[in-house]
Chain A
Amino acid sequence: MPERHELVVSRIVLDVLKPHTPTIIEFAKSISAVKGISRVDVSILEVDTNTETVKLVVEGAGINFEQVEAAVKHLGAAIHSVDQVVVEKISK
């Protein structure tokens, strides 16, 4: 009998363009409120007059990308690209 397992997203790295407000601290705290996320890492890559480009790393057990995308959008930011995804196989 084949082993039954579930695929869960455990890490996503995103390239995000955001305004200067909210700050990256507030931004990280808000993203961490998304269900399934246990760790958020935000680093500034580039700063412009009105915006900043950040690398957003979210980690957790079973991340829902749509929810992360909605949270990012709600904060007035835009996802430019999904740069890395880690999916894990969890045995049921």
Chain B
Amino acid sequence: MRRWLSNSIESIRTMLRYSGKSEMVRRYFFTNGFDGAISMLGVIMGLGLLGNVENFIVVTAGLGAALGMFVSGFMGTYVTESAESEKRMRELREVLLTDVSNTVFDEAGRIGALVAGLLQGSGSLVFSVCVLSPYIASLFVGGLGAYSLPLSVTLGLVVLFLLGMLLGRMTRQRVVLTGIKMATAGVATALILILIDWLL
């Protein structure tokens, strides 16, 4: 099982490398994760500031938004990357002056676009659901309802900070600084929402 899993991961990595998408996938997984976490923070804060909104409504709205972000991330990336793969195949055909259909590049282009789409979509889904998780937990654990908002906001900021750190590590920048930058974006979103609520 472990060997099968490791072989599968290795072959997906190879496909992504052959299709020229490995760097892009890594980068955009975090970007979409950032989008997902911030958007969910916005949904939760927005509904939270309304007051007297049942947790069930927050969970339903949040899951709807998360699903929407998954579909948007998947479709956007899949369609774009499929077109990109076609372009790459055309370029390869022109360079090699030979038919390149039914080659590893053909397979890699198709599988790479699908994997890229799934990873992009799941990036926003995983991180947005992660931010929403205290609300989801409150539906099953009694007494947690009152703490869902502060827990979700805290978790959202922690997720953003960790995402920033990972992104910083990946791009070989100062990890704590990139983490703080990302978390600051979350704080800014929360402050803007509070300001809008105060003005209205």
Contact = CB atoms under 8 A, between A and B. Distances in A.
Asked if A and B bind, the verdict is yes
Interface of A: 17, 19, 21-22, 50-51, 73-78
Given A19-B92, A21-B17, A22-B18, A74 B104 contact: yes
Contacts of B96: 17, 19, 51, 76-78
A76 B92 contact: yes
Q: Which of B20, B102, B104, B105 is the most central at the interface, judged by chain A CB atoms within 10 Å of its CB?
A: B104
B100 interface: yes
Interface string B75-99: 0000000000000000110011110
A51 B20 CA distance: 15
B97 A22 contact: no
Decide if the interface of chain B is mainly helix, strand, loop or mixed. Answer: helix
B108 to A, nearest CB: 9
Contacts of A21: 17-18, 20
Contacts of A77: 96
Nearest to B94: A50
The 10 A-B residue pairs with the shortest CB-CB distance in the complex, in nearest-first order:
A78-B98, A76-B103, A76-B105, A50-B95, A78-B96, A74-B103, A21-B18, A51-B95, A76-B100, A75-B104
Contacts of A22: 18, 104
A19 B18 CA distance: 10
Given A21-B18, A50-B95, A73-B103, 9 more contacts: A19-B95, A22-B18, A74-B102, A74-B104, A76-B92, A76-B96, A76-B104, A77-B96, A78-B96
